Amino acid sequence: MDTEKVKQNPAVEAAGSSGGQAARIFKKENIPKTAETVGRDTFEEWMGRIMERFDRQDRIISVLVNKDAAGVKYLDGERLYDNQDLCEMLRTSKRSLQRFRSKYRLRYQRIGHKTYYKESDVLEFISQNMEEVLQGGTKVLRMKEQPGMEAPKNKSGKRPGHKKYSPKK
């Protein structure tokens, strides 16, 4: 007689099928005391769905927490900047970064075919070789004047290679 009640209960019938309807119907108050056990396959299916939902929410939370850190690379627990990041940060060109590496000994690391700079190396370089100046009402970084590191100039006071274009007559 109890088995007939279990078969007639819509919550138990829905539990056997897979779908969102089962979750809506399958509430504790709708289940008779005799039908509180669920089959192993149904249980594993529900647990799989629950774990998928937890995983999805975990990914969403990690993106929200690390929103500014998405795509940031680390080496030995230290943040790495690539050429583009450093160009934007110092407001300079890629060629200037190359000059900083060669003349001013800005430390860098090659990973694959890409150049990266450790955050500590960048901060050390800035503190040793750059100064903050006001330019147009805003603070900008520029290279400190160092003896022997000045660009050579010709007699007219201009750097060589920068000639005015004059068309031939």
3-state class of 153 per DSSP?
A: coil
Q: What pLDDT, in 10s, does the model give residues 62-107?
A: 766 665 555 678 877 888 999 998 999 888 899 999 999 999 889 9
Sign of CA dihedral 62, 67, 73, 75: negative
CATH number for the segment(s) 73-143: 1.10.10
The domain limits of the chain are: 2-65, 73-143
pLDDT score for 102: 92
Residue, of 140 and 20, whose pLDDT is higher: 140
Mean of the pLDDT values across residues 26-53?
A: 77
Q: What is the pTM of this model?
A: 0.46
pLDDT at 13 over 80: no
Q: Work out whether strand 138-143 and strand 130-135 pair parallel, antiparallel, or are unpaired.
A: antiparallel
d(CA 119, CA 86): 10
Q: What pLDDT, in 10s, does the model give residues 99-149?
A: 999 998 899 999 888 999 999 999 999 988 888 888 788 777 778 876 655
